[in-house]
Amino acid sequence: MTITRLQGILTEEGEIKVELPPNWKPGKVEVLLYADEDLEWTDEELDELLEYMQFEGKPLGDIPSELIGAGADWDIGDSADWVAEQRRQRQEESRKLWME
């Protein structure tokens, strides 16, 4: 998968105009739109969005065991200790750069 950020124009007719980089082949694409201004949502659109985004929690016993403790097979020991050590190493590397 290749991700490329393109600038485009949305026309009055509801079309998006962009210029693609060279050598792009026809096929499926995913388009994400970001607007410089706030859009007004209808009540129906908000209801549909909220319905889509409903989250229902589950008791721990209902969650598949392979999702619990993800990373336990990474052989890093205690995850909090590992994070602290990574942070310490990065700070040390940063100090070396500043001391040179």
Strand partners, 18: 8
Q: Which domain holds residue 27?
A: 1-53
Does residue 100 fall inside a structural domain? Answer: no
Residue 83 pLDDT more than 70? Answer: yes
Does residue 15 fall inside a structural domain? Answer: yes
- Secondary structure class of 8 (helix, strand, coil): strand
Residue 72: which pLDDT band, with cuts at 50, 70 and 90?
Answer: low
Q: How does pLDDT run across 16-49, given as a tens digit for each residue?
A: 888 888 888 888 888 887 777 777 888 998 888 8
Residue 89: which pLDDT band, with cuts at 50, 70 and 90?
Answer: very high
Does residue 46 fall inside a structural domain? Answer: yes
24/1: higher pLDDT? 24
Total of domains in the chain: 1
CA distance 69 to 81: 15
pTM, whole model, 2 decimals?
A: 0.30
Overall residue count recorded for the chain in this entry: 100
Does residue 72 fall inside a structural domain? Answer: no
